[in-house]
Amino acid sequence: MAKARSSVARVAMLVLGSVLSPAAYAQDWLQWRGPRWDGSSDVQGLPEKLDASAIRWRAPLPGPGAGAPIICGTRVFVTAADEDAEKLVALCFDRESGKELWAKELGPSYTPAGRGKPTAIDNRSTYATPSAACDGERVVFFFGNGDLAGTSLEGELLWKRNLQQDYGDFAFQWTFSATPTLHGGKLYLAILQRDQPTGRGAKKPEQPIPSFVLCMDPRTGKTDWKVERQAPAQMESLESYATIVPRVRKDGRTELLVLGGDVITGHDPADGKELWRWGTWNEGHREAWWRIVPTPVVAGGVVLVCAPKRAPVYAVKLDGEGLLPAEALSWKSEGRPNPVSSDVPTPLVHDGRFYVLSDLANALSRIDPATGKVEWSVEVDREFLWRASPVAAGGRIWAQNHHGTLYGFDPADGKEVARLALGRDDDDGICASVAPAHGRLFVRTNAELVCLGKE
């Protein structure tokens, strides 16, 4: 009997190893912007045309959420704000069948006084806006009220904490929505907020509220280091909803890109030390209401920063040190009206090109990172807003609009080549990005998780 159990254990380890092997990772979608932190994937075999026959399964969800589906091996993870039950929930589904494997209530454990209901502080989003993140061994779930938890792939709660209880109430005008970053065995999150409280009845503190970057141990949730991150912006322009992006410099060092407060900075992942900074798109810091939403993306030796509210995008040269000079700006987008701008969607990198989906100009544009040349720009459907970030896989660019209609675009010329309505007739406000993995597209609407693929 002991020999039999030993054989079973060896088989289980081999199966687990195959699920979590590097080859499997290439097919997974473990973080919000995918395996290269830029929205692109090498996944093939996706449907070329979209119609009802491409739907493999649909799974109901207990409430809305804007986090992208996260896929690890045979599991799909999402979060939801169950508004009727006033709960924040993490869910796991079987990738092939859509069967719900487990659901776990993770909040709310904290709701600041006078800041809305337990599932949101505004009517534009919910606390279930950040995406989960997975390292192949555990899943980290974060919610906009500060609830942060780590679970096993099987749903066992490993640890839980609330960042507002630990470090003070968030000072954001809108629901905080940055996604945690799992990289190099560590968990990173930037809390870039205004220096004064927001909300009715909020009292001015004796000292300005700090913005900071956190590094935590994903096995325990405990803080390894916390560093304040200074910025010259004012009021809402101090707020950032962008996710930390890791990158490897030319000299082989890894750095963390942190965007917000009118500047972009590079940090040492070992201790959070600031290595360099560039800014600003907000000349003289005159605009007090320029919060940042899009996450930075890297291609061709530059990092792309999207200034808000119809302002240009800026390409900044990388691998510098200290305070970067004006010459570090490689180029910025031009034109009036400017089709190359983004207030909310994070740009995509595909085959060495930037793809910028403008939610204000209703345009999708392809840009050469080296020169800033707009190689093409096409108008997209104007009936509903575009807030989800585009992704690339299977020779197509995929994005869904606020109504839950999924579109496929040809990256060669931007022409629409596929369209499928997945939301309900009355749906609006859908902001979740598509996740390509294992020959499938996983799409989150307000009420369902949908899997698309060839038969």
Domains and CATH numbers, the chain: 25-452 (2.130.10.10)
Taking phi over 0 as left and psi of -120 to 50 as alpha, with beta for the rest, 188 belongs to beta
For residues 243-259, average pLDDT: 97
What's the whole-number average pLDDT of the chain? 92
126 within 8 A of 119, measured Cβ to Cβ: yes
pLDDT per residue as tens digits for the range 262-306: 999 999 999 999 999 999 999 999 999 999 999 999 999 999 999
pLDDT at 71 over 60: yes
pLDDT band per the 50, 70, 90 thresholds, residue 15: very low
pLDDT for the residue numbered 111: 80
| Per-residue burial over 139-155, b = 16 or more CB atoms within 10 Å of its CB, e = otherwise | bbbbbbbbbbbbbebeb
Write down how long the chain is: 455
Q: Say if residue 4's pLDDT is above 80.
A: no
Per-residue model confidence (pLDDT) at position 455 = 80
Q: Is the pLDDT of residue 18 over 70?
A: no
**Tens-digit pLDDT profile for residues 406-454:** 999 999 999 999 999 999 999 999 999 999 999 999 999 999 999 999 9
> So what's the pLDDT on residue 339?
87
DSSP secondary structure string for all residues of 352-401: TEEEEEETTTTEEEEE-TTT--EEEEEE---SS---SPPEEETTEEEEE-
Q: Strand, helix or coil at 170?
A: coil
Mean pLDDT of 202-221: 91
Question: How is residue 39 written in tokens?
Answer: 């929205």
Tell me the average pLDDT across 27-52. 94
Q: Give the whole-number percent of the chain exceeding pLDDT 70.
A: 93
149 pLDDT tier (thresholds 50, 70, 90): very high
Q: Is the pLDDT of residue 313 over 90?
A: yes
Q: What single DSSP character describes residue 162?
A: E
Work out the average pLDDT over 184-203: 88
1, pLDDT greater than 70: no
What one-character-per-residue DSSP string does 417-454 give? EEEEE-S-TT-----PPPEEETTEEEEE-SSEEEEE--
- Of 21-25, 76-80, 382-386, the least confident: 21-25
Q: Cis omega before residue 35 (within 30°)?
A: no
Residues 84-140 pLDDT 10s: 999 999 999 999 999 999 999 998 888 877 777 888 887 788 999 999 999 999 999
**Residue 11 pLDDT more than 60?**
no
The contacts of residue 283 (CB under 8 Å, 6+ apart) are none
pLDDT (0 to 100) of residue 201: 57
How high is the pLDDT of residue 335?
81
Q: Is the pLDDT of residue 344 over 70?
A: yes
Q: Tell me the pairing of strands 138-142 and 147-152.
A: antiparallel
Task: Say yes or no to pLDDT of 9 above 50.
Answer: no
Residue 200 confidence (pLDDT): 60
Nearest to 443 by CA among 57, 182, 156: 57
48 pLDDT band, cuts 50/70/90, is confident
- The predicted pLDDT at position 331 comes to 98
179 pLDDT higher than 90: yes
- Better-scored residue on pLDDT, 85 or 200: 85
* pLDDT band at residue 205 using 50, 70 and 90 as cut-offs: confident
Please give the full DSSP string across 78-110, using - where no structure is assigned.
EEEEETTTTEEEEEEEETTT--EEEEEEEE-S-
